[in-house]
Amino acid sequence: MNEKQKEDDGKQSKPLWRVATVVCPPGNSIVLRAHCSLVDCGGWALDLFLGEETREHEDIDVQVPRRDQQTIRSLLDVGDVQAAYPTTHPDAWPFRAWEAGTVLSPVVHDVWCRPSQADPWALQLMLAETDGDHWLFRRDARLTRSLATVGRRTKNGIPYLVPELQLLYKAKEPRPKDEADFARIAPFLIQRAVAG
């Protein structure tokens, strides 16, 4: 995390797009954390677990319980906010604008955000399924975990998805960067499991 990101980490009262103009530094997702339960996920979650940036990241991935979607949407009042719908055709554009006050279909698992349509995607919101105080793995609801154990916090208080769950999400169709993430994280998880 660079000095600008550390400085921005403490700015909790500003709306997301006023803090982040083109690409949101990871600390800026803290803006949303003051209002609802969410955790950094994706490659950043693994780097937060390790305590260092190990590779370049194109955007910020944040997981939020689906039940908090309206709170999140109310905070995204500027910019291009698009819900990703499943498509049957590989060349079809999967995105539809997510208007304020609209409840997303259960088939939508990701929302992509950027300051404007001319900018690259900056933030991916991943909607997590929950049942009461339990997180449910959307690909197999038999895999559950207490919401209290889904995330951890860095020394600076930044919440992140625990690495074993992040790797579970990455396992569906692993890309080279996902394989590299696994290779980097697996020794820590094995060491923790052996230590019991």
Residue 71: the pLDDT is 84
Tell whether domain 3-163 is in CATH 3.30.460.
yes
Q: How far apart are CA 94 and CA 37, in angstroms?
A: 27
Residue 6: the pLDDT is 37
Residue 188: the pLDDT is 94
Residue 24: the pLDDT is 41
List C-alpha distances in Å: 126 to 51, 88, 129, 146: 23, 21, 10, 18
Q: What is this structure's pTM?
A: 0.76
Cβ neighbours of residue 9 under 8 Å, at least 6 residues apart?
A: 1, 27, 28, 30, 156, 158
Mean pLDDT, contiguous 10-residue spans, the chain (196 residues): 39 30 37 52 90 88 89 79 87 89 94 88 90 93 91 86 94 94 95 90
Count how many residues are written for the chain: 196
Cβ neighbours of residue 99 under 8 Å, at least 6 residues apart?
A: none
Residue 77: the pLDDT is 64
Q: How far apart are CA 41 and CA 22, in angstroms?
A: 20
